[in-house]
Amino acid sequence: MTIASSEPVTAGSETKEDKAKSAGHELFELGKTIFYALLIALVLRIVLFQPFTIPSASMEPTLLEGDYIIVSKFAYGWSKHSIPFSPPILSGRIFERQPHRGDIVVFKTPKDNRTDFIKRLQGLPGDRIQVTRGVLYVNGKAIQRAQLTPEMIESGFGAREVGRFRETLPSGKTYVTFSYGPDGEVDNTGVFVVPAGHYFMMGDNRDNSLDSRFPTEAGGVGFVPAENLVGKADMILFSWKEGASLFKPWTWFTDARVGRFFNILQ
């Protein structure tokens, strides 16, 4: 028997070329993993859920600045606005489901079809909406409204007292609204008739909300097309007070509103 005279190859004899190929393969696999992870995240964001941060006081007391909410994208079906940057690849909605009066809705404002707003849906297609001395009327009937204890809040003009009212819709859905009095700019309106395929939105902070009571040319929302609905706000996931910062880790705890964590929205 002839015995081979060559020495066995050991791990230490790996060439630079082999090492370069191995490193390149590992880099490729890492890139592929990151790509798949981003793709899955994008699909979930488009199809199922999307997080939003509340930037203003227009939905107080239901939503506070600093609330971090989860919006279900499948609640009303999907449109081009379900996709980042709203590419013009869809017309109307697919698998459309009708929203309900009282839903808290994220939508693209008709003014630019780009900016996300969040309000409460108060008017369905064909409804007649009117506000008289701060009381909301739908199709000629006043929405049930009970006065609660006023609250002191911080505003842009310092601390002030704000009225609190519990509204109850005919469906039984109930929520609390803020009001600075019955004679604000849009506490007494004409009758708004909601066009077919559109919705009427209002903020719970009734005297501090640019909503469907204001036309788009006045900086408001006007009537919102069904296509512009992004999704239904379902839950407050986390919440932080003003002053919390990503770059100040201690504020993640000192400025957390723990009592608002995982609150289901009504």
Q: What is the CATH number of the domain that holds 184?
A: 2.10.109.10
Establish if 162 belongs to a structural domain.
yes
The CB-side HSE value for 128 (13 A sphere, CA atoms) comes to 6
CA separation, residue 171 to residues 102, 104, 197 (Å): 9, 15, 22
Establish if 8 belongs to a structural domain.
no
Q: What is the pTM of this model?
A: 0.83
Establish if 27 belongs to a structural domain.
no
Q: Which domain holds residue 74?
A: 45-88+100-264
Range list of β-strands (E), the chain: 49-53, 67-72, 104-108, 116-123, 128-132, 135-138, 141-142, 144-155, 158-168, 174-179, 192-193, 198-202, 224-225, 229-239, 263-264
Banded pLDDT at 26 (limits 50, 70, 90): confident
- CA 59 to CA 205: how far, in whole Å? 5
Give the per-residue pLDDT at 130.
98
What are the pLDDT digits (tens) for 146-179? 999 999 887 666 788 999 999 999 999 999 999 9
Banded pLDDT at 18 (limits 50, 70, 90): low
Active-site pick, 108, 119, 209, 212: 119
Establish if 4 belongs to a structural domain.
no
Does 58 participate in catalysis according to the annotation?
yes
What are the pLDDT digits (tens) for 110-148? 999 999 999 999 999 999 999 999 999 999 999 999 999
Establish if 35 belongs to a structural domain.
no
Average pLDDT, the chain: 88
Q: Please tell me the total count of domains within the chain.
A: 1
Q: Which residues contact 69 (CB under 8 A, 6 or more apart)?
A: 51, 52, 53, 54, 63, 233, 234, 235, 236, 237, 265
Q: What are phi and psi of 173, to 5 degrees?
A: -65, 135
Active-site pick, 58, 82, 209, 212: 58
Q: Which residues of 83-100 are buried (b: 16+ CB within 10 A; e: fewer)?
A: eeebeeeeeebeeeeebe
What are the pLDDT digits (tens) for 75-90? 999 999 988 888 888 8
Banded pLDDT at 40 (limits 50, 70, 90): low
- CA 131 to CA 149: how far, in whole Å? 22
Does 119 participate in catalysis according to the annotation?
yes
Establish if 2 belongs to a structural domain.
no
Tokens 């369905």, residue located: 124
Establish if 39 belongs to a structural domain.
no
Establish if 126 belongs to a structural domain.
yes
Q: Return the ∠ at Cα 177 (arms to 172 and 181), rounded to 5°.
A: 130
